[in-house]
Amino acid sequence: MIGQLNGTPPILEKGHELETIAGFRAWSVELPLRRRLRHATADVSALTSIVVEVELADGVRGHAEVRSNGAYATGEDESVIVSALRAVRLKGRTIGDLGGELPGRSMLAWMAIDTAAWDAVARRSDQPLYRVWNPTAADAHSIRTHAQIGFGDVGTSVDLARSYAAAGFDRLKIRAGAPDLPADIARVRAIRRAVGPEVSLVVDVNGGWAYDTAAAAIDALADLGIAWIEQPVQAVADLARLRKAAAMPVYADESVRDAASIASLVAADAVDGVHLKLEKSGTATRLFHTVAAASASGLEIALGQMDQGQLGCAVTTHLAAALELERAELWGWAGIARDLADTLVMSSGSVAVPTGAGNGVGSIDTTFAQEIL
């Protein structure tokens, strides 16, 4: 499908802007993790999310989830999202009307409402989300994903890598950017020795290195066959400098949000690829535009998400299916000890595309969530 995205994204041909919100509810929920999420910009023992329910005028309901303790990546914490939802009159408004008001207050609040409305529209038509977004998409049964290895000692990292490889994951994302560069290098080298050349390795720095550190790290990792290094530094100019000498592809993540930022990266000849997220684009429509811009510029495209619960990850799975992308990051729910839903299935390094209408998530357990609206 990527080749078809140079024109108007298919999603715009079947808009939902005229849908009216008849009812609205929202909850805040804490999702405890089995293992701390640790990387250059995060160290948390639980994920927090805002979950919304949108009821359209015909009584059909849709749901969505947005991560609310990921301000290090999104710039918005829970107070910003909740304040926006409380400040704007929602009931009786159309999705199009809200699209003119909410993004200026909170892009994540707008993302939640917009995504929940799409879920309702798809449920009404008894179609999966990916089919509503792209009617010509190939039938999708499962999407390959990678497993993630956060900060930790060499022994723990190697044990995780071996277990993931044995479980069928053929791509591992290793978080780097700790203050101790030799420790980062040792971890990556040890993981490569442990899993062999058949497993693809990605190093994600989350912008945690200064330029000189990044240049030294790239040189030290040059012989390991790294698939790509993600956001090694923050500044676009430094990305461009690194790419000129790098012995591996350089991807942007935190530096790319929309089609305009794609244009800036391309103008600077800064990257080989981009890691896109719905959270950064704000809505599926904007994400499709961003993918189209990246595709037209010849960039490699990976689709990811914030670590979050199954409700949010199901939407990313449908987006990957609609866009027919080969590089997807759908791992974010795997480490959650108690979730709102129990729908997604991960097997042999792939996530099954949820069956059924809408996002495919069945019942949502809000008994341990706090209703906020």
**Residue 244: φ, ψ to 5°:** -60, -30
- List, in sequence order, the alpha helices (H) in the chain: 71-74, 78-87, 95-99, 107-124, 129-133, 154-166, 181-195, 211-220, 236-245, 259-267, 278-281, 284-296, 310-323
Q: Is 277 a catalytic residue?
A: yes
39: which strand partners?
42
Q: Read off the amino acid at residue 137.
A: A
Q: Which of 91, 173, 244, 280 is catalytic?
A: 173
State how far the alpha carbon of 58 is from the alpha carbons of 124, 129, 243, 324, in Å.
9, 19, 52, 32
Cα separation of 232 and 251, whole Å?
8
Cα separation of 8 and 59, whole Å?
30
CB-CB contact of 51 with 30 (8 Å): no
Q: Is 14 a catalytic residue?
A: no
In the chain, % helix, strand, coil (3-state, to 5) comes to 40, 25, 40
CB-CB contact of 357 with 123 (8 Å): yes
Q: Which of 14, 91, 277, 280 is catalytic?
A: 277
The catalytic residue positions are: 173, 277
